[in-house]
Amino acid sequence: MSTLTLNLASTHARALWQLCKPRVLLLILFCAVIGMALASPGWPDPAVVVPATVGIALVAAAAAMVNCLVERTIDARMRRTAHRATARGAVSSPETLLAASMLGAAGMLVLLVWVNALTAWLTLATFVGYAVVYTLLLKPATPQNIVIGGASGAMPPVLGWVAVTQHIDPMALALFLIIYAWTPPHFWALALYRRDDYARAGLPMLPVTHGERFTTLSILLYALLLAGLTLLPVAWGGSGFLYLFCVVILNLRLILIAVSLHRQYAADQARRLFAWSIWYLTALFAALLLDHYWQMVVR
């Protein structure tokens, strides 16, 4: 096989990999694995963690590919997404669909055989919720798309929890509600400074349909709701003082940025909130994990 052929194959493989949205995929797996750790009374069993992580990753990658496939014409009109292989035509629609089908089927097989049926079917429901309900139905139809469709994005820690316990309990529900409330301000901050992009693509994102002032107020209100929901793990006895200390600091910073954005809108402030929201969720779940193992040590 010639060097040119190898280079072309490598470029093609990288294009397909980028359609899996690696950074989003990493955050999904981070939350799912922490869900597994929190559900375990001790150290999580690698015999569960490894196949569950692989299965969830494969199905999540398939969902991302389907999203890119469905939105290829929209992506081509947006500067933020015009580089995607489906938008550029670098990867064909049949090829993308085939790759997504293979990844999704492999992920479901791994979950059904090596994890448990409930995790598999909840993962499939998450796939349908994101790739079909959100991408096809909600996103082009309503400015509340991310509020309704956010349920799919909030599922990773629940999937991790169920992989270990085979049931959903209040702590798993608390993790779901935290990400569910985090999702709208996270995406609305992005939509604010990318408003022209979304308008050009014809998508009814909240800043496009209701303007800056309404969107910044919505972000602030959701930030306050999120701050309240982050206390549920403590209220339900799943987390202790270490998590509480960390989450109070995280919430104070989030609310201060949201207040500043609402008082005087600026694109740089919206970017700042968007970037902080990613660090916020990462740090919050890391605090949950640290608190979990700290409580194991002091008991």
Question: pLDDT tens-digit profile of 202-214?
Answer: 999 999 999 999 9
Question: pLDDT tens-digit profile of 262-298?
Answer: 999 999 999 999 999 999 999 999 999 999 999 888 7
Is 4's pLDDT higher than 50? no
**Secondary structure, 3-state, the chain:** CCHHHHHHHHHHHHHHHHHCCHHHHHHHHHHHHHHHHHHCCCCCCHHHHHHHHHHHHHHHHHHHHHHHHHCHHHHHCCCCCCCCHHHHCCCCHHHHHHHHHHHHHHHHHHHHHHCCHHHHHHHHHHHHHHHHHHHHHHCCCCCCHHHHHHHHHCCHHHHHHHHHHCCCCHHHHHHHHHHHHHHHHHHHHHHHHCHHHHHHHCCCCHHHHHHHHHHHHHHHHHHHHHHHHCCHHHHCCCCCHHHHHHHHHHHHHHHHHHHHHHHCCCHHHHHHHHHHHHHHHHHHHHHHHHHHHHHHHHC
**Owning domain of residue 35:** 7-168
Let me know whether 155 and 272 are in one domain: no
Let me know whether 60 and 91 are in one domain: yes
Please state the pTM of the whole predicted model: 0.95
Q: Which of 137, 168, 199 is the last residue of a domain?
A: 168
Is 13's pLDDT higher than 90? no
Let me know whether 197 and 264 are in one domain: yes
Let me know whether 215 and 124 are in one domain: no
The answer as to whether 232 is a domain residue is: yes
Let me know whether 210 and 160 are in one domain: no
Q: Which of 139, 168, 197 is the last residue of a domain?
A: 168
Into how many domains does the chain fold? 2
Let me know whether 148 and 22 are in one domain: yes
Let me know whether 102 and 186 are in one domain: no
**CATH at 247:** 1.20.120
Let me know whether 151 and 274 are in one domain: no
